[in-house]
Structure 1
Amino acid sequence: MADRTPAGASAGAAHHRLRAAAHRHLARHPRAAVLVDRLTPRSVRARTTLAACVSVAVVLSVASAAVVFLLRVNLERTVEADTREQAQAVARLATDGRLTSPLPLDRGTDFIQVVDANGAVVAASQNLTGRPSLAPAGHPNGHSTFNLRARGHAHHQRVTSIAATTPTGPVTIYVGASLHTADAAEDLTTAALAVLSTVLLFTVGALTWRATGRALRPVEAIRAEVAAIGDRDLNRRVPEPRSDDEIARLAGTMNAMLQRLEAAGTRQRRFIADASHELRSPLTVLRTQLEVALAHSDPDVHTDLVAGALEDTERLQALAADLLLLARLDTTDQDWPDEPVDLADLVHTTVAARGAEPHPVAVHAPTAITVPGNTLWLRRLLTNLLDNAQRHACRHVTVRLTTDRASGHAVLDVTNDGPPIEPADRERIFERFARLDDARSRDDGGTGLGLPIARDIAAIHKGTLTVLDAPGTTVFRTRLPIPPHHFRAGTQSSLRPS
């Protein structure tokens, strides 16, 4: 293998040099470059047809050359066998001293000539009587091909020469046979193969052109449909072929993509509408309060109105912060955050910073569990879950941190003893600005973005956030994966059941 590597490298280098030379040549001859560019097939259909025709042409050329070569060899061997048999018969006559002139010709031979060591003709067949020697004296034994134009024949002769010893001295016997049949068969076979190859080549080209066109017709239909789909026509779908092939899978994939785009567009429009509604309400109240404050000069009224305006301003500030965070989460193209985060420490510090109002929070996080992530985002996830739990709890809230050693996940449960969430609403609460009917008051409900933000943060960390079916309580479970390369000595000890 080591021996082939330099050769492969040199071949690759030679290929690159040829391409570079071709580019330089085309750069010096812009007209040639334009001609090459025009002759280069543009479409997949044309390139496929050209490749098929070139491949078939190469195969046919090699096969035809092999057939003609084998035919020529077989015919020449047949002629050679006839001439050798005739030459051996004449050699026996010469050895016995029974040479006569003219010598008789057998079927398949054209002439016989016996020449002595001095180049003089000793005997010959009728058609060579009186003619000089065909070859120089001392011509070695073997086979050769003569073109006897002196005899008026344009075709070749296969000549066999054999040395023999006569009573008067050594002689060389030349026996020739015409290759006219071999030449004619070769010419006929070459012409027939050329015609058949041409017909086959055109047939392959036509079939490839038609088959490629039929195969690419669905692709063109898909392209035309995609080109016609605008930003307001995302409900349209590309045609899916009934065949179970790559093009059908491509169409299915594109329809799935269009479905996702349509769903994303719908969510975006609903989000914009809901955001406009959520912003319009506090802005309207704030403006009313300020107008009333301008119309009244009573300090007590001013104080109440300013307090209400401050409350609405804080609500607007929180809503704007949530919207900005959602926009950042939607557009983030970062990789999985890999900052080591101690979830147990994060839980303890977050709960301690909140205090015990309005309901006490019990924490069960006995061991350190380190996961890769973003500390600020994970703290925001826990804060949003605690805000939701505090808003709906009756008496207490529980935070429990464990590990699922089988799957390598950290499990964070935030539980409150408030009214359970109906199964039909357990996914709807994660929609943006979606709040259940009993949480729509401004004093009791949030902005409707806390849970969606928490789920998006979990998704960015390759985790999940779901609502569990627990009797008498509501449990929000967050599962965060712990990648294998984060299982260090310090973290492996934490992967014990709590």
Structure 2
Amino acid sequence: MRLLRPLSLRGRVTWTVLGLLAVILVVLFTAVDIALSARLHADARTRLTDRVALAGRLDPQLGAQQLVDRLRGDGVTARLCVRDGGGCVAAASDPAPPGRRFPAGGPARHRPTGARTEVPVETAGSVIFVRTGLRGNQVLTLSLDTTQITDALRRLIFLEVVGGLLALLLAGLAAARLSRAALRPLEDMTALAGRIAAGDRGRRLGHPRTDSELGRTAAAFDSMLDELEAALVTANAAEAGMRSFLADASHELRTPMAGLQANAELLLREELDRPDRERVAVAMIRETRRATRLVDDLLTTARLGQGGIRLATEPVDLARLAETETARARTLAPQLSFAVSADPAPVVHGDPVRLGQIVTNLLDNARHATPAGGTVTVTVRRDGERVVLEVADTGPGVPAIDRALIFERFGRGDTSRSRDTGGAGLGLPIARGLAAAHGGDLRYVDSPAGARFRVELPAAT
């Protein structure tokens, strides 16, 4: 039975409609046939009983032959016989009534003129008949052959079958055409999915109406394709970014590792005196620290990208933190001047270690970009619900074309922030990520001279 089931949705819909229509037609035709048969047989019985009543009224007025001729017709045959075995009066063409000649029992009772009594209707095969007694010991037999009714019902059933089959055929054709038109969006959806799978991306169904089930399905399908393509673009961009990140990280790590290898080989090959050995050892330590810091920065960058930075928040006096980090920068760059200007008690809620990392990265960026004799200024102030920290230097500044690049991983901008004079290009991206983790922001702002970076953080309540 499963092999006979149509595989397509259109076929299932068509066969379901035809099956339902066939059941409705069968029930309707059966009900019509039963009701019509009952009605026609009831009319036949009514004709016989009405003729019996008419015979009771005409019996005193007409003779036997006249009474028979008056009662017969319209399919009804009449026969008037004497009960004691006398002759019968009937039309020559009328057949003899079925059953016994006279009804069982005693002599028939005379029906009073105009009297109407219930006369039992008997059946013999396809013939129905009634017998009633008239005056003069006479018996009137009225009969009606129902063969014509049966034939008429058979012809009706034949016409119903033929008409029903034609109706089912036409309904099947109409249902197939209508279902094809109704399900066309599904076919379009299937064809579109095939083209997209073949590489023809960017196509959409574009169903104009969304007030129907198929229209809403088409709109949802288009939205799904938009989301999938956006996710694909994002995934491709993320993959490209990861490849670039790994390439840049490998390139950055190659420099300290190459220095370590060269110094180690120098120690093995040469017989160096103590000052030279100490110089090589100091260079190896410097390259090791450089590689360690780069690895730490890479780990921090990866955690920022995954939202995995954990902050141990507490109230932090940003002015005191700036003073501490500036003091460290003075020892690293004695050739520069450092100045701190702060409002009283600019407190924020944050992780003091991570906030210190933000300030350190900004100060490192400033001292690498500022030539000897320059000045680095740190300003901390309260601005409404925010605390603003600015680090400005008297270096060459950042050209407008490079201001977006410096916040990207391994982006350095101009040559003043190159690998030789600066870090790996991760300080500013890490500082911006940490500021965002605290609910703030880091951006570059215009300055009359040099570069100026502004950090805005929510003030502690």
Fold match (TM-score > 0.5): yes
CA distance in 2, matches of 1:164, 1:314: 133
Match of 1:310 among 274, 285, 308: 285
How many positions carry a matched residue from both structures? 391
Q: How far apart are residue 352 of structure 1 and its match?
A: 7.7
Letter in 2 for 1:190: V
The answer on 1:197 being equivalent to 2:191 is no
Q: Which amino acid aligns with 2:298?
A: L
Match of 1:323 among 298, 302, 311: 298
SS of residue paired to 1:395: strand
Tell me by how many angstroms 1:49 deviates. 3.0
Aligned residue for 2:371? Answer: none
Pick the aligned partner of 1:131 from 74, 78, 98. Answer: 98
Q: Tell me, what secondary structure is at the counterpart of 2:257? A: helix
Distance in 2, matches of 1:319 and 1:454, equals: 15
CA shift, 1:320, in A, is: 1.6
Of the candidates 314, 328, 332, which is equivalent to residue 357 of structure 1?
A: 328
State whether structure 2 residue 271 is matched by structure 1 residue 300.
no
1:400 offset after TM fit, Å? 6.0
User: Post-superposition shift, 1:397?
Assistant: 2.7
Counterparts in 2 of 1:307 and 1:223: CA distance versus 1, 3 Å:
same
Distance in 2 (CA, whole Å) between partners of 1:183 and 1:381 is 98
State the alpha-carbon separation in 2 of the partners of residues 124 and 416 from structure 1. 135
Query: Which residue in the other structure is 2:233 paired with?
Result: 259
> What secondary structure does 1:416 align onto?
strand
- TM superposition shift of 1:104: 2.6
1:40-439 aligned within 5 A: 46-65=7-26, 67-69=28-30, 71-72=32-33, 75-76=36-37, 79=40, 82-83=43-44, 86-87=47-48, 89-93=50-54, 96=57, 98=59, 103-106=71-74, 129-132=96-99, 150-151=125-126, 178-198=149-169, 200-201=171-172, 204-205=175-176, 208=179, 211=184, 212-225=186-199, 238-241=201-204, 243-244=206-207, 245-246=218-219, 247-294=221-268, 295-330=270-305, 342=313, 344-345=315-316, 354=325, 356-358=327-329, 359=338, 360=340, 362=342, 382-393=355-366, 394-398=375-379, 413-418=388-393, 421-439=398-416
Distance 1:197 1:449 in 2: 77
Q: Which amino acid aligns with 2:17?
A: V
Q: Which amino acid counterpart does residue 255 of structure 2 have in structure 1?
A: S
Residues 168-197 of structure 1: CA distance to partner in whole angstroms, max 9, x if unpaired?
A: 9xx999975715434433442334333442
Task: Write the deviation string for residues 59-98 of structure 1: whole angstroms up to 9, x where unpaired.
Answer: 4234434543564467457636744763563253255364
Q: 1:297 to 1:195 in 2, by over 3 A?
A: same
User: Which sits farther off after the overlay, 179-188 or 74-83?
Assistant: 74-83
* 2:319–2:380 contact (8 Å) kept in structure 1: no
Contact 1:466–1:476, Cα closer than 8 Å, also in 2 = yes
Amino acid at match of 1:284: A
Deviation of 1:238 after TM superposition, in Å, equals 2.0
Contact 1:342 1:368 survives alignment (8 Å): no
1:30-75, CA deviations, whole angstroms, 9 ceiling, x for partnerless residues? xxxxx96x8888xxxx452354235423442344345435644674
CA distance in 1, matches of 2:97, 2:141: 17
Deviation at 1:340, TM superposition (A): 9.0
Letter of the 1:432 counterpart:
R
The two structures, once aligned, show a CA RMSD in angstroms of 5.3
1:445 and 2:392 correspond: no
Unaligned residue ranges in structure 2 (runs of 5+): 81-87, 105-117, 208-217, 330-337, 367-374
The 3-state SS of whatever aligns with 1:432 is coil
Structure 2: how far apart are the matches of 1:88 and 1:400? 118
The structure that has the greater radius of gyration is: 2
- Match for residue 111 of structure 2? none
Q: Call closer, same or farther: CA 1:440–1:425 in 2, change over 3 Å.
A: closer
| Bigger mean CA deviation after superposition, 279-288 or 193-202 | 193-202
Contact 1:91/1:164, CA 8 A, preserved across alignment = yes
Residue in 1 aligned with 2:332?
Answer: none
In 1, distance between residues paired with 2:343 and 2:4? 76
Query: What percent identity do the matched residue pairs reach?
Result: 22
